[in-house]
Amino acid sequence: MAIIKTAILQTHVYKEKSLSITQAEELLADPELKNIDLAVLPEMFCCPYENKYFPEYAEPEGGDTWEKCSWLAADHGIYLIAGSVPERDEAGHIYNTSYVFDRKGHQIGKHRKMHLFDIDVKGGQYFKESDTLTPGDQVTVFDTEFGRIGLCICYDFRFPELARLMTDKGAEIIIVPAAFNMTTGPLHWELMFRQRAVDNQVYTIGVAPARDMNAGYHSWGHSIAADPWGKVLMQMDEKPGVKIVELDLDEVKKVREQLPFLKHRREDIYKLSQIK
């Protein structure tokens, strides 16, 4: 049996970066989380989700936030998907980046959000990440002793091609630090996590910041886990909190054997290919 005990941390994002990090530290120290294998934080878990803050809060890979997350993973002996943070590279570009640490605190994965969130819904949400951020260009999967996990960030998950590429690369779980909003969250959030799970026969996990109506961006919250049948295993409300879900990778194998549609693709007629 390959069961991954996964903690989903729907945290509050403070204006002061150090408070958001301390919050993660305190939550992980809770004795109820003693036996977890993996913990996941939300998108921009220590930076308010607004363009004006991304340059100010950005750090290079290996910076203070990175160091702290690496230490937390090693200290608890867990895999940590450190939500996402604004990352500044040597050329001064800023990315929305998720780092993954193994049980020893070594970085074993890194995803730079590939699809920037540029939308303008009349009477609803406006956002233009491309005002400050640069897109990444890598499909991200990483290995654990349980199996392979795919990783993308929020708007990336709207692109079924990306989830399928991760599945084709062997992902059995797809993890998505994310922050949907009050316009798109109510109709699209659960639907997407269930649909990608069904289409790819994977577990899907979405981890969002808690809603803060005093913030510039109102997160939908509702962190979620769906199984490879598309069943919602757990969904939170909008408040801060922690939930543990058990992901049984034998289920992925069973579902794929019983309903083998991934093998029934007509690759003689159509094919998804990666250019880079």
Ligand X SMILES: O=C(O)CCC(=O)C(=O)O
Please report, as ranges, the residues that interact with ligand X according to CB under 6 A: 43, 117, 154-155, 158, 179-181, 184, 188
The rounded distance, in Å, linking the Cα atoms of 133 and 24 is 25
Is 42 or 228 the residue whose CB approaches ligand X more closely?
Answer: 42
Rg (CA), the chain: 18
- Three-state SS for 41? coil
Q: What is the DSSP letter of 97?
A: E
Report the distance separating Cα 276 and Cα 272, nearest Å. Answer: 13
Q: How far is the CB of 4 from ligand X (least distance, A)?
A: 25
Residues tagged active-site: 43, 113, 154
Could you tell me where the DSSP H helices lie in 150-232?
160-168, 185-200
From CA 69, how far away is CA 77, in angstroms rounded? 12
Query: Side chain identity at 101, as an amino acid letter?
Result: F
Nearer to ligand X, 43 or 87 (CB): 43
| Of 208 and 249, CB closest to ligand X | 208
Residue type, 132: T
Task: Give the angle 228-138-109 at the CA atoms, nearest 5°.
Answer: 70
Q: How far is the CB of 252 from ligand X (least distance, A)?
A: 26
Nearest approach in angstroms of CB 50 to ligand X is: 11
Residue 188 CB, nearest approach to ligand X (Å): 6
Which contacts (CB < 8 Å, 24+ apart) does range 63-67 have?
Answer: 65/17, 65/21, 66/99, 66/107
| Nearest distance in Å: CB 78, ligand X | 25
